[in-house]
Chains A and B, each alone.
Chain A
Amino acid sequence: QVQLQQSGPGLVTPSQTLSLTCAISGDSVSSNSAAWTWIRQSPSRGLEWLGRTYYRSKWSTNYALSMQSRMTITPDTSKNQFSLQLNSVTPEDSAVYYCARDRCSGGDNCYLAYYDFWGQGTLVTVSS
């Protein structure tokens, strides 16, 4: 059974960096049949896809257009986990952040698909 365990602070100061980690058990961050994704949820924006990383002979990372200038997703094969860094946060970045496994299809293309395992969620509040 795949399990995703999130860790990271729940309170971030405006203009600082939000950092979260998702530890994977029961699968590998280097899996050639999945992608590792960050999604957030807020009352104002609903469920919002943020970005993902995956390995298909080399590492690839995709970001939502609205996030790509200040977001970094990084895999860590030694710890079988992946991380999210979001720079220059504002109160609008306050949300519950989830990591999830994407059962992407299309082999090396890894087309976006659906999410069959999720982390427990981290409520992040951006406030001074």
Chain B
Amino acid sequence: EIVMTQSPATLSVSPGERATLSCRASQSVRSNLAWYQQKPGQAPRLLMYGASTRATGIPARFSGSGSGTEFTLTISSLQSEDFAVYYCQHYNDWLTFGGGTKVEIK
């Protein structure tokens, strides 16, 4: 099973600042990676798939990059609605989710 490791576990950021979240796979998943945002009491929301393609309706301040084993989700200028938990998920020959990064207000 491919293990997805996210870092940091918690990221404290001020509104308007840039946030960079990392996701590492224990072996290559090519570009078969998705990112989700989850707020308390809600289901995860798809942000990105194919490592760098924004899902429908996702603002341009969200961007994804990487391939193989190293991936990054960047939020260019944090808005109040962006404070949440973010998960990565690979789908390269099965799937697993990462443990999440909580983005909190600094």
A interface vs B, CB < 8 Å?
46-49, 98, 100, 103, 111-116, 118-121
Looking at A47, A98, A103, A114, the one whose CB has the most chain B CB atoms below 10 A away is A114
Contact (Cβ within 8 A) A49 B99? no
Query: Which residues of B sit under 8 angstroms from A48, Cβ to Cβ?
Result: 97
Besides the contacts A46-B97, A47-B97, A116-B46, what 4 more A-B pairs have beta carbons closer than 8 Å? Answer: A47-B44, A47-B89, A49-B95, A114-B46
Listed A/B pairs (30) with beta-carbon separation below 8 Å = A46-B99, A47-B87, A47-B89, A47-B97, A48-B97, A49-B97, A98-B43, A98-B44, A111-B93, A112-B91, A113-B32, A113-B34, A113-B49, A114-B46, A114-B49, A114-B89, A114-B91, A115-B34, A115-B36, A115-B44, A115-B46, A116-B46, A116-B49, A116-B55, A116-B56, A118-B44, A119-B43, A120-B43, A121-B42, A121-B43
Which chain B residues in 11-36 approach chain A with CB under 8 Å? 32, 34, 36
**Closest A residue by C-beta to B87:** A47
Query: Which residues of A sit under 8 angstroms from B46, Cβ to Cβ?
Result: 114-116
B95's contact among A46, A112, A118, by CB below 8 Å, is which? Answer: A112
Query: Which residues of B sit under 8 angstroms from A115, Cβ to Cβ?
Result: 34, 36, 44, 46, 89
Give Cα A119 to B34, complex, Å: 18
Query: Which residues of A sit under 8 angstroms from B100, Cβ to Cβ?
Result: 46
Query: Which residues of B sit under 8 angstroms from A111, Cβ to Cβ?
Result: 91, 93
Query: Which residues of B sit under 8 angstroms from A112, Cβ to Cβ?
Result: 91, 94-95
Query: Which residues of B sit under 8 angstroms from A47, Cβ to Cβ?
Result: 44, 87, 89, 97
